[in-house]
Structure 1
Amino acid sequence: MKILLLGSLISTEQMELLNRNSKEKASVAPVNYETMLAKGLSENGAEVEALSIPAVAAYPYSIYKRINSRHEVIFNKIHVQWVPFVNVQGLKQVTIKKSVERLLKLWLKNNEGINNKVVLMYSMYPSYSEPAIQLCKKYGCHLCAVVPDLPEYMYSWKKMKGIRGGYSQKITQQMLRLQGACDSYVLFTKPMAKKMKIDNKPYLVSEGFCDKSIFEDIPEQEKYEKKTILYGGNLSKLYGIHNLVDGFMKTNMDAELHLYGAGADASYIEACAVKDQRIKFMGRVERTELLIALKKAHLLIVNKPTDDDYSNYSFSSKILEYMISGTPILTTKVKGMPEEYYPFFFFIENETVNGIADSIFQVLQKEQNELLRMGKSAEAFALKSKNYKIMAKHIVDFLMRQIQF
């Protein structure tokens, strides 16, 4: 089976370079996911190519006024072609769409005689999903969309206002209009199907996957001298960052809270770090540095609130990355999380500031052997049941059923 990945897959090195030269840093989560997806599909016998729109902030939030066409080969076998575009807001989306139309049409024409082919698209981003829907229909090619987040929530955490806020709302409305137009779907949670009104279409629930090889070049790490809690990701109130920081400040433990990432509420964390020296704001760092920190921490925390509608349809893909670090995890019980994960986590049952403070205290009071056992059991589960090769095989089998139907 031939699969064309349509999304933002580029090499880790190039992603880090783009982010290094940008004031606003793009999330690396989509690239991490697509990297494992491409690798897993290939190792399960699919012939994989990628047509990729690099995730980079528009000028002047990055130094790049234009992203040129480029070719990369990853894992020595997967050809990745960058889609060229003018990286200036307004022109960016228009030029992406034109380039995708041209390059996708070329791929479809070159593979017109091949029946077992699929375009597998990451997210419903309009600049490439719209031409993909139209061209796949025209050329009779099966189009499957991976949907990690519901369109109506993709931009909500950024809280953008003015022209940028209006534009994000426009993109959201376009995605909502297009979301039912694909032939099949890979969803991160089962409730997504009903919410998207696609439960009458073929879909597979696959909440993500993990790859132990990301720690291959990282030796075993000694834990930090002080007990350390680590949070990495969007620094936004939507993700519970205020309650987490406030809850930690309520404790009087001889411990530290390390926060990695960027987001709308980074300034709040910086202010709290001035008031409480135990809080360390690390910002956005290169991937290797974060992976080392995951190993050195005593506890990893994911504090996504469960009282909003978003949590009903949410599964954080970084959970699986955290699990294979071998460090125990304290998390909220979001409704999108399958119950099979429950035995491997410590849970925040009370999400108030006092409740979070109590949860942190209770977990860090446990014996080190118990924390180690919990971390290692989560690691074993993830590697056995959720590794990228096993999960990608489910996707390959699902796609084969669709094109043979």
Structure 2
Amino acid sequence: MKLIFVGLMYNPHEKSAIREKTISGFQEPADTFQWSFVNGLLKNEYFDKIKIINVVPTGTYPNKYKEVFTKSKTWSYLNNSCFQIGSINLPFIKQIQRYIALRKQVACELANSDENTQIIFYSLYPLFISLAKFIKKAKYNASISIIVPDLPSKFGIMPNGLVGKLFSQLEGIFVLKRMKYFDHFVLLTEQMLNPLSITHKSHVVIEGLLDTELTTIELEFANKNIKSILYSGSLNCEFGVCDLISAFELIDDRSIELWICGSGDCEDFVKNISNSDKRIKYFGQLDRIDLIALQSKAYLLVNPRNNEGEYVKYSFPSKTMEYIYSGKPTIMHRLSCIPKEYNNHLYFFENSSIESIMNGIIELLRIEPSRYIEEGIKNRKWIIENKLSDKQTMKFIDLIRSGNQE
């Protein structure tokens, strides 16, 4: 069976250059998820051939990206053909060009295929939704699946401003009314079923996946005079970074440091506080290799995102698997999107208060060294045995295999 993967990814050979040209909105977690998914499918060897059709997730020029043109090009990934959709990075023009090029490329692939083709789209990107409708209306011999990493409109994080909120609501209506064009769904949480109105549809939950070729974290348990607490991710207030800083400042201990990586609305606040409290280190937005290296050096990993907001049920924090795999104690709020199987591999704050965050951190910093190492090895083993990309993508393969047998 042939597979066409249509995604929003970076060419690995150009990723560093694209990062340098990106002013805001670099999509590291989404890129990692997609390449991990592709690698998992390749390892399982179920598909005879995989064709990757890729839209580079760059923002518009000049506010979010430094170049006005993205070039179309063909390249290869592990002996699989990849085609990158180019465009002029200007509002509306970019979307029109992308859709025309996507439609032409996918139609060409399907027209030249004599067998049933499986197509996977990543995300509820409106252009992908429109393309799925075109494929179904044209009656190509294809089965269409979609990976849903998050939900639009009121089920996600709404943008600021009246215009942004209105656009988000209209986009949500457009997307949610077109789920009928998809045959299979890959969801990050079970709770996504109802908002998408697909309880009757073929689906599987893959909350995340980890590819050891993309994520090489050394298991490091060296005793250190300075114990570092690491947070990496969005620096938006709704993700709890300000609460984390407030809790950390209540701890009167010069032998600990708070390491923060990422970008977002609170970035200036983080920079300023790191200047006044030398225990707080701000590293900016690191590339993946440097971030993974920092995780291996940290003593404790933390995710301060709380359980408030409707969107929490529909979005699994992608860093969770990496944190557990690092072998370091990981503490977070008990989010409604976290499957129960994770409970034995995470620590949880007692409640959402600043004092609870402070107490949780202090308690973990006092773990006996033998327990620290023992739990780290156990948690890493659990990820390897259950959550690597080949095992997680096999769930998707089983889903479409059962559909083909019906």
Q: Does 1:339 align with 2:340?
A: yes
Please say if 1:52 is aligned against 2:54: yes
Secondary structure at 1:193's aligned position in 2?
helix
Match of 2:240 in 1: 240
Are 2:43 and 1:43 equivalent residues in the alignment? yes
- Work out whether 1:399 is the aligned partner of 2:400: yes
Alpha-carbon distance in structure 2 between the residues aligned to 1:345 and 1:176: 34
Conserved? CA contact 2:219–2:296, under 8 Å: no
* Letter aligned with residue 104 of structure 2: R
- SS of match in other structure, 1:23: coil
Letter of the aligned partner of 1:399 in structure 2?
A: I
Residues 223 and 183 of structure 1, relative CA distance in 2, 3 Å threshold = farther
Alpha-carbon spacing, 1:256–1:286, altered in 2? closer, same or farther (3 Å): same
280-289 vs 317-326, greater mean Cα deviation: 317-326
For residues 4-31 of structure 1, the C-alpha deviation after alignment (integer angstroms, 9 at most, x for no partner) is: 1111233334223211111114121111
Counterparts of 2:264 and 2:179, CA distance in 1: 27
1:88-121 CA-partner distances (Å, limit 9, x unpaired): 122222211111111111111111x202x21111
Shift of the alpha carbon at 1:350? Answer: 1.3
Residue 303 to residue 137, structure 1, CA distance change in 2 (3 Å): farther
Q: Work out which of the residue numbers 64, 68, 93 in structure 1 matches 2:67.
A: 64
Q: For 2:217 and 2:337, how far apart are their aligned partners in 1? A: 33
Judged with a 3 Å threshold, the aligned counterparts in structure 2 of structure 1 residues 16 and 194 are, in CA distance, closer, same or farther, namely same
Mark the runs of 5 or more structure 2 residues left unpaired by the alignment.
none
Work out the CA distance in 2 between the residues paired with 1:88 and 1:54: 14
User: Which deviations, in whole Å up to 9, do the C-alpha atoms of 1:119-170 show, x marking residues without a partner?
Assistant: 111111002221123214421411111111122368626x443766654454
Partners in 1 of 2:134 and 2:164 — Cα distance? 27
Give matches, 1:67-146, under 5 Å: 67-74=70-77, 76-111=78-113, 113-115=114-116, 117-138=117-138, 139-146=140-147
Q: Please tell me whether the aligned partners of residues 10 and 80 of structure 1 are also in contact (alpha carbons under 8 angstroms).
A: no
Tell me what 1:189 maps to.
189
Q: Which amino acid aligns with 1:110?
A: N
Preserved CA contact (<8 Å) 2:136 2:181: no
Q: Tell me, what secondary structure is at the counterpart of 1:129? A: helix
CA distance in 2, matches of 1:359, 1:319: 17
> Distance in 1 between the 2:280 and 2:154 partners?
29
Indicate if the aligned counterparts of 1:101 and 1:132 stay in contact, CA closer than 8 A. no
* Aligned equivalents of 1:224, 1:71: Cα separation in 2: 48
Paired residue type of 1:181: Y
CA contact (8 A) 2:221 2:373 kept: no
Percent identity, aligned pairs only, is 23
**CA spacing shift, 1:153–1:207, aligned 2, 3 Å:** farther
Return the TM-score normalized by structure 1: 0.92
Contact preservation (8 Å) 2:155, 2:310? no
Cα distance between partner residues in 2 of 1:63 and 1:131: 28
What are the Cα deviations for residues 149-196 of structure 1, in whole angstroms up to 9, with x where unaligned?
122368626x44376665445434433333453111011111111222
Shift of 1:218: 6.2
Structure 1 residue 396: Cα displacement: 1.1
Aligned positions of 1:267-346 closer than 5 A: 267-346=268-347
Conserved 8 A contact 1:119-1:141: yes
Contact kept, 8 Å, 1:19 with 1:25, in 2: the verdict is no
What residue is the counterpart of 2:385 in the other structure? 384
5+ residue gaps, structure 1, are none
> Do the aligned partners of residues 240 and 276 (structure 1) sit closer, same or farther apart at CA in structure 2, a change above 3 Å counting?
same
Matched, 1:227 2:224: no
2: distance between equivalents of 1:14 and 1:223? 38
Q: State the one-letter code of the partner of 2:129.
A: S
Q: What value does the CA root-mean-square deviation take over the aligned residues?
A: 2.2
| Separation (CA, whole Å) in 1 of partners of 2:192 and 2:343 | 20
Specify the code of the residue in structure 2 equivalent to 1:395.
F
Q: What does residue 375 of structure 1 align with?
A: 376
Q: Does structure 2 conserve the Cα–Cα contact (< 8 Å) formed by 1:348 and 1:359?
A: yes
